[in-house]
Amino acid sequence: MSLPDISRIPPRTVGPEEIRLVPGPYCMSFGFDLGGLMAAIRSAGLVNPPVLLESGDDDLLIPVTGYRRLLACRDMGWKEIPCRIVRTPGPPPPEYLLLNLHDNLATRRLNPLEKAMALVRLSAYLPGAEIIEKFLPLLGLPPRQGVLRLYRAVLEELDPETQEWVAAGRIPVPVAGRILEMSPDERPVIFNAIKNLNLNINYQKQFIDYIMDLKSIESRSIPELLAHPRLEEISGNPRLNPPQKARAVLRALRERRFPRLSLAERDFRKTILRLGLPRGVRIEAPPFFESPDYRLEVVFREGGDLKETLRRLLQIPGLENLGDPWRSGGG
């Protein structure tokens, strides 16, 4: 497919009532705010006239490009909108889809749902291999079959509210993919938990990982897991703000997912507290206690301070017994 040349078509004015102002077969707009666009049009005018296609079904014109510009002009009360009108003797050629895609890419960045709309519409005309090789990179996406499948599923299988969060960047596409791995009944449950806890992107990934692991380990459904009394207690605690609730829920899930590790970490923290380390000294255990190496951090201003801190550190009784809580029986 190649782009049609519409530059030689002179614009003419069209009334909003003559246009089918609903998302049509070429539309790639989702989750947008017209405020900034309206301000730009008021300031500079309609620099790039939309392209409209004559419809064979009725007298209304179909937007090919400029759907958001048309809505903005209508909402500003324009009675006449300069547009370019194209006519086709038969079915509209798929090249108009490319025209809209490149028109959008030249002026703005598509959000994930808009990229999905573009890919699904292109799939009606082009083989998957061509879309993967040419159009995924054009949209800033890795050229892989799994990426194309994921974006199609985001558009066709996610519920509208979750799609709005994905479009706004509040849920990344990989996390949306994890949600799509769940049953249709479980997806809104996990989404509502993410929304109510206001989890950031990193927390979303951890939350879903813990939930999916516990679902397999405990053979429970996601609603059953989230109805655990400890989680309900945290969610209903009025003394906790949303970030505190999010951290507490993740901590509770982690302890439930890794009970022995969590116990060992608590024992290690208690041991460190009992040692009474000098100010500015911190001892950290290796993640998951998988490495035999611990980390000692000393904060000081002068060499004399360092020497005195090390002297006090060496005099702490029981320091030589510090080690792996698995071996010491803490787990």
Listed by start position, the domains of the chain span 1-108, 183-257, 263-328
Please tell me whether the overall predicted TM-score, pTM, comes out greater than 0.85 for this model: no
The C-alpha atoms of residue 293 and residue 284 are separated, in whole angstroms, by 9
Q: Which letter does DSSP use for residue 132 in this model?
A: I
Location of structure tokens 């890795």: 142
Residue 239: CB partners within 8 Å, gap ≥ 6? none
Query: Which pLDDT belongs to residue 153?
Result: 97
Per-residue pLDDT of the chain (331 residues; tens, 9 = 90+): 666 778 888 999 999 999 999 988 898 999 889 999 999 999 999 999 999 998 766 689 999 999 999 999 999 999 999 999 988 766 677 888 999 999 999 888 999 999 999 999 999 999 999 999 999 999 999 999 999 999 999 999 999 999 999 999 999 999 999 999 999 999 999 999 999 999 999 999 999 999 999 999 999 999 999 999 999 999 999 999 999 999 999 999 999 999 988 888 888 888 899 999 999 999 998 887 888 889 999 999 999 999 999 999 999 998 888 877 666 544 3
Residue 64: CB partners within 8 Å, gap ≥ 6? 26, 50, 51, 52, 53, 86, 96, 99, 100
- Quote the distance between the C-alpha of residue 102 and its chain's center: 24
Decide the pairing of beta strands 12-14 and 61-65: unpaired
The C-alpha atoms of residue 173 and residue 171 are separated, in whole angstroms, by 7
Query: Which pLDDT belongs to residue 2?
Result: 63
Longest Cα–Cα distance of the chain, Å, equals: 93
Residue among 76, 164, 38, 45 nearest 112 (CA): 164
Count how many residues are written for the chain.
331
DSSP strand E in the chain: where? Answer: 12-14, 51-54, 61-65, 81-86, 281-284, 295-298
Residue type, 240: L
Residue 82's φ and ψ, nearest 5 degrees, are -70, 125
CB 61 within 8 A of CB 24: no
Query: Which pLDDT belongs to residue 24?
Result: 87
One of 3.30.9.10, 3.90.1530.10, 3.10.20.30, 3.40.50.620 is the CATH number of 1-108, namely 3.90.1530.10
Query: Which pLDDT belongs to residue 329?
Result: 46
Residue 88: CB partners within 8 Å, gap ≥ 6? 53, 54
Tokens of 130: 């061509």
Residue among 142, 186, 127 nearest 162 (CA): 186
The C-alpha atoms of residue 141 and residue 135 are separated, in whole angstroms, by 8
Q: What is the DSSP string of 49-96?
A: --EEEE-SSSSPEEEEE-HHHHHHHHHTT-S-EEEEEE--SSSPPTHH
Tokens of 33: 């705010």
Residue 294: CB partners within 8 Å, gap ≥ 6? 283, 284, 285, 286, 322
